[in-house]
Chain A
Amino acid sequence: MIEAVLQISLVVLAAAMIGLVYRLVKGPTVPDRVVALDAMGVNLVSITAVLSMLLDTSNYLEVILLIGILAFIGTVAFAKFLEKGEVVEYDRDQ
């Protein structure tokens, strides 16, 4: 029973992923794509979690946390890039 539910949720998540990829490909603006990428990261977290339940292992918990952090960092970096044109600014005192 639970297995079937997990399978179904995986398929749903994969469908969501394809929808996100459509947005990523189509655009039309860069922020659209960045948001799509961010959402893909969150989607990845869910897929990984469902998968680790399916595979019956706890080895992927780090992966889940890491994706969470990286998706955040990546989105912030993209946002800063779009805002200011660069990711790491020079120190103003120098």
Chain B
Amino acid sequence: MADNGDNDSQHRVNEGDYVVLKRGDIYKAVQIQKKKKTVFEKQWFFLDNAVGELYGTTFEVVTGGTLQPRKPKLVESSADAKEAGTDNRNILDDGKSQKLTRDDIETLKEQGLKGQEIVQQLIENSTTFRDKTEFAQEKYIKKKKKKYENSVMVLRPSCRVMAMMYHGREPGKICHLRYDTLAQMLTLGNIHAGSKVLVFETCAGLVLGAVMERMGGYGSVVQMYPGGGPVRAGMESFGFPSHFHDTLHEFPICHVNALLAGALDTEAKDIDADSGQANGDKSNLTQTGPEKAESKECSPDTKDQCMETSTSTDPAADKEREEREKLREIRGQERKVKMEEKRKKLAAAAAVLEGRNADGLVIASRFHPCPVLLGLIKFLAPSRPFVVYSQYKEPLIECYTKLKEQGGAVSLRLTDSWIRHYQVLPNRTHPMLLMSGGGGYLLSGTTVATDTPKMGSTRGEEPAAKRLKLTETTEG
């Protein structure tokens, strides 16, 4: 049953692939392009040699910026010559323990010595190394390796590495959403293949990408976006196959009210698009019209031309002008096609939303979550989970209170999580000295059907106990 005839090719790096580079705990997302210089952790290199290698391969950066795959069984060679002290009572900090000078080290580097060899040199020229305890020696080697070993791991992008990368590199861009919080969101939102999920995020497209990864190209995602267009850089770095993009819709948040009011029908969209086209035509006119009238709208260059045409009847100039007009017409046509595409996209997204039967809602933005949640929750079917992220707790308290007031949701929970990493080594196991202080807060819950008028009559018959209990939970 070995490998099920699995083909290696899908596990190998191809040109054009989106990959993530890793060194230590540092990640960087790049696209593989031949002969393209990549800068990572104060080093530059070319990724050409990564093409054809398996994902997860570690490379050594050698002179000239080329990468050389490192054989897996090359690690840990300092097992020989076990000579170590028991404590540090005789180790003095005189600043002279290292016999190599800064210049010596630079020379070694320039000679193109491998990182491992430099580390070996440093050890041999350290007078105190032998007196250090075994643990201190290990720590010394680890520290020097980190500094001098020029290795880079090439990973396939995934929600895990993307979330860790953004959190490490650019937490501000993702509203300080920590990876364990993102993990909670995907699980609490029950994000899975075949569902219809709404996403509103200003996290560079990371949350969108995470949702899409969990959907696996099955079902549909509607990205609700603020401003002029959706931000998707983070999602693009996942390198999804093209069919994933077929399941992705976008809808501007500024049309939500119209859609909810039923004012955003196809006609309206047509008018919208038409007016856009009309605008386009108009601008076309303002460009072509004045030219015919030889007006000030012309650029200096065209002005000369205008003057030329006005004074002479040069057939060449006439021809040029004709060509220019043709070009404008083509551009106008292109604009028209673009508008039409945009209209179609809007109509498609609206059609997905109109049923108000979405299966999940994920919000993670720099906007106040309350209006976003109260607006978008209307698109959810009953008995579906929703999850809202905020870097701050107070706006979520408001969301909680408003939702309790208006009903339509149960199981409301306001949470945050702590993550603690551990160093696990023989006789040296302990929590890491540094831990992340905050990964943001989540409000999660499940939608339920709101009361229909018919249900109103039964409301009066509720047992008193239940009512009391409800007010208790509402008001705490």
Q: Specify whether A and B are partners.
A: no
Give B residues with C-beta under 8 Å from A: none
